[in-house]
């Protein structure tokens, strides 16, 4: 959940580290720090709060002796887990032998959780070591230092053999200037290969300004880095080879591009992001989808018993759309399960089941655990991810990349609509291998290819949606209603509102509202109802009438030109006419804009909501 940056090479490390931390601010954090290898030893600076405060503390580092010419360093942004967000709990954490003075001999930054840190802490304190913070990471630093005898790689290897938990670590030692030790188990680490330099990060966004050639570490990899030299070993088996990957988006793609917030930029990028997802994957003549990454031929598809979709949060909501589409069009049983539950409830899966794991980052801890459980049980497993080279992409060995480009805002927008577009293509491919005719397949292709233009139509109503949002910005609670394909839209719409505006929003299947929750409705609680043209609309409007009878204001999402909705809504967000399975996307975009403008009027931190991180890499 935190951000890591490391550098060793021939340039001043401090500005590279600070810029890398700024690139990782979107992940969410509450403290920041860095450590530089100087001639006088390791210099550590850290603070609670934002990276800007850390930069203030550093001051004019280029004019400070020993800082401007430091060529190796590590940096970190932290979300508090063990201990509150204070300077003393911030990373990096250092350690030295008992009686060795205050200057650290070993310093490291760490993402993840050391589960047995309390036991290790007792042992270390028994050796006379004093630990100042409340963190599990400082325990790890002291553990490495306790084994240090001049060889950092050897010390790290011995220390990690004692550790239970997850980690992405970058470590350096006073006596080995220019050397970084990097290790990974369950928390992503990427190594950027430059000319006469190497960068390390928890997210490629931090290093794209310097290189697009990267190497992703696998679990239990440990790498020794010095300048441009990278040597990777497995903690289990010895030397290994990890092949470089080229990142397919540029540093400029992670800029705001004149928009007030990354979220707004990414909402408006959706027509292009969706087109990038479907481009080259539609066979109009055969009425089919070309998804070679799934590595499933028609015979394999015909042999499938069912599809299990696992994900968390927004990805889970996309999965629900996929469930409906796969069952409706392919006649293939499909289920969606929260990824954390999948692992712990001993699911029944077998060789004829396809487990489809959905994760924007490809690093979501619960989803990755579900992947490994499914693999262990002999199921076919495929990933649907946005990040090339991510852990889920590598461990599944089959799947589909979204190609939606970087998503910087914590609240996911274009990843969701690209995921749904991808799931519709999967439904088409499965359907053509089952009962769908070529003619219907050709029509389905046209429906999918029309999605970017449907989204552009909604984006053109941005100003009108903003005016509607202003009228509801003072609400403290909201209900979202939908049924069928619009139920996942209601879930995602409510999630967006609470993520960025901090309004308590709940989504219900429209039929479930009257089974208890309607008792909560008052004039102060607005209802957002998704009721485009199609089956279920009349039932949803009936539920809306029940809400209005109790004094609630209603915002409708409806199809342009639908006169039947007159009188049901106090305000309407219009979407273009299209089939229900594709209407999911324009309806969601309308609710993304609604949530954005509510949060804007409320003055909220839209791109970095409190307590949230972009990639949840701990369970």
Q: Tell me the mean pLDDT in the region 261-281.
A: 94
Is pLDDT at 62 greater than 80 in this prediction?
no
Active-site hit among 2, 312, 547, 604: 2
- For 91-102, the DSSP string reads SPEEE--TTS-S
For 464-477, what is the mean pLDDT? 96
Is 241's pLDDT higher than 80? yes
Host H or E run for residue 328: none
Burial string for 169-196 (b: 16+ CB within 10 Å, else e) reads: bbbbbbebbebbbbbbbbbbbbbbbbee
CB atoms within 10 A of CB 304: 18
Q: What residues have CB less than 8 Å from 515, skipping those under 6 apart?
A: none
Is 121 one of the annotated active-site residues of the chain? no
pLDDT at 587: 98
Rounded-to-integer distance, Cα 386 and Cα 424, Å: 16
pLDDT digits (tens, 9 = 90+) for 297-335: 888 888 899 999 999 999 999 999 999 999 999 999 999
**DSSP for residue 508:** E
CB 27 within 8 A of CB 609: no
pLDDT tens for 509-540 read: 877 777 767 766 777 889 999 999 999 889 88
Among the listed residues 46, 174, 496, 614, the single catalytic one is: 614
* 61 band by pLDDT with thresholds 50, 70 and 90: low
- The two beta strands, 334-338 and 306-311, are parallel
**Cα–Cα dist 10/71, whole Å:** 6
Running DSSP on this structure, what letter comes out for residue 251? G
User: Could you tell me how far CA 242 lies from the centroid of its own chain?
Assistant: 24
Percentage of residues in the chain with pLDDT exceeding 90? 58
Domains of the chain, earliest start first? 3-247 (3.60.20.10), 262-443 (3.40.50.10490), 450-603 (3.40.50.10490)
146: CB partners within 8 A, 6+ apart: 95, 97, 124, 127, 129, 159
pLDDT at 152: 96
Q: What is the pLDDT of residue 495?
A: 96
Largest Cα–Cα separation, the chain: 81
pTM of the predicted protein model: 0.78
Handedness of CA 527, 533, 539, 542 (dihedral sign): positive
* Phi, psi of 494, deg, nearest 5: -65, -40
CA distance 422 to 450: 14
Average pLDDT of 576-599? 97
Residue 63's pLDDT band, with cuts at 50, 70 and 90, is low
Task: Please count the other Cβ atoms lying within 10 Å of the Cβ belonging to residue 563.
Answer: 6
Are the C-beta atoms of 199 and 192 separated by less than 8 Å? yes
Tell whether omega for the bond before 92 is within 30 degrees of 0, i.e. cis: yes
Instruction: Answer yes or no: 414 catalytic.
Output: no
pLDDT confidence of residue 463: 96
Give the closest residue to 587 by CA, choosing from 472, 479, 474, 496: 496
Burial 514-549 (b: 16+ CB within 10 A, else e): eeeebeebeeebbbbbbbbbbebbeebbebbeebbe
Q: What is the pLDDT of residues 349-392, one digit of tens each?
A: 888 999 999 988 878 788 888 888 888 888 899 999 888 778 88
Tens digits of residue pLDDT in 138-177: 999 999 999 999 999 999 999 999 999 889 999 999 999 9
Residue 532 structure tokens: 């485009």
Return d(Cα 534, Cα 530) in angstroms, integer. 11
Per-residue pLDDT band at 191 (split at 50, 70, 90): very high
Q: Which helix (H) or strand (E) holds 606?
A: none
At 367 the pLDDT is 87
What does the pLDDT look like over 244-260, one tens digit per residue?
Answer: 888 876 666 666 778 89
SS3 letters across 285-317: CCCEECCHHHCCCHHHHHHCCEEEEEECCHHHH
């Amino acid at each position: 959940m935190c951000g890591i940056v490391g550098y060793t090479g021939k340039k001043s490390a401090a500005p590279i580290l600070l810029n890398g931390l700024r690139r990782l601010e979107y992940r969410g954090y509450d403290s920041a720090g860095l450590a530089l290898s100087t001639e006088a030893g390791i210099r550590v600076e850290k603070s609670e709060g934002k990276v800007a405060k850390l930069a203030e503390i550093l001051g004019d580092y280029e004019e400070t002796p020993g800082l401007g010419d430091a060529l190796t360093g590590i940096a970190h942004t932290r979300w508090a887990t063990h201990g509150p967000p204070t300077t003393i709990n911030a990373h990096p954490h250092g350690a030295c032998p008992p009686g060795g003075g205050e200057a650290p001999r070993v310093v490291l930054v760490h993402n993840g959780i050391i589960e047995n840190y309390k036991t290790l802490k007792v042992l270390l304190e028994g050796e006379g070591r004093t630990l100042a913070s409340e963190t599990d990471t400082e325990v790890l630093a002291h553990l490495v230092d306790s084994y240090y005898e001049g060889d950092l790689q050897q010390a790290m290897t011995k220390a990690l053999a004692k550790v239970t938990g997850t980690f992405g670590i970058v470590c350096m030692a006073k006596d080995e200037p220019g050397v970084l030790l990097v290790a990974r188990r369950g928390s992503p680490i990427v190594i950027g290969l430059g000319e006469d330099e190497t960068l390390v990060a928890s997210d490629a966004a931090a290093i794209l300004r310097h290189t697009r050639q990267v190497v992703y570490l696998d679990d239990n990899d440990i790498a020794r880095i010095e300048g441009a030299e990278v040597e990777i070993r497995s903690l289990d088996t010895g030397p290994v080879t990890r092949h470089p990957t080229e990142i397919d988006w540029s540093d400029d793609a992670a800029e705001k591009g004149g928009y007030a917030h990354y979220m707004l930029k990414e909402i408006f990028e959706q027509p292009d992001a969706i087109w990038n997802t479907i481009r080259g994957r539609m066979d109009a003549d055969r009425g089919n989808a070309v998804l070679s990454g799934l590595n499933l031929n028609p015979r394999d598809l015909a042999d499938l018993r069912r599809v299990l979709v696992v994900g968390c949060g927004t990805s889970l909501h996309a999965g629900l759309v996929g469930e409906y589409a796969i069952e409706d069009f392919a006649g293939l049983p499909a289920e969606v399960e929260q990824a954390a539950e999948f692992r712990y409830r001993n699911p029944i899966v077998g060789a004829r089941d396809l487990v489809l794991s959905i994760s924007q980052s490809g690093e979501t801890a619960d989803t990755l655990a579900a992947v490994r459980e499914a693999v262990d049980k002999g199921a076919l497993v495929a990933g649907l991810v946005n990040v090339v080279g991510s852990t889920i992409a590598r461990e599944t060995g089959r799947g589909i990349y979204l190609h939606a480009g970087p998503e910087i805002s914590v609240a996911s927008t274009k990843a969701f609509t690209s995921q749904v577009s991808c799931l519709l293509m999967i439904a088409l491919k499965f359907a053509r291998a089952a009962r769908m005719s070529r003619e219907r397949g050709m029509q389905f292709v046209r429906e999918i290819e029309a999605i970017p233009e449907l989204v552009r139509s909604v984006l053109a109503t941005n100003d009108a949606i903003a005016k509607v949002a202003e009228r509801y910005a003072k609400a403290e609670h909201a209900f979202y209603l939908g049924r069928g394909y619009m139920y996942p839209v209601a879930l995602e719409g409510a999630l967006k509102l609470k993520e960025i505006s901090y309004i308590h929003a709940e989504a219900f299947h429209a039929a479930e509202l009257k089974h208890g929750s309607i008792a909560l409705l008052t004039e102060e609680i607005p209802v957002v109802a998704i009721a485009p043209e199609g089956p279920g609309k009349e039932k949803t409007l009936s539920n809306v009438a029940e809400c209005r009878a109790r004094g609630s204001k209603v915002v409708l999402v409806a199809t342009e030109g639908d006169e039947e909705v007159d009188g049901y809504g106090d305000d309407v967000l219009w979407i273009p006419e299209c089939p229900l399975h594709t209407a999911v996307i324009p309806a969601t975009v309308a609710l993304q804009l609604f949530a954005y403008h509510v949060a804007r009027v409320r003055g909220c931190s839209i791109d970095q909501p409190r307590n949230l991180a972009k990639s949840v890499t701990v369970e």
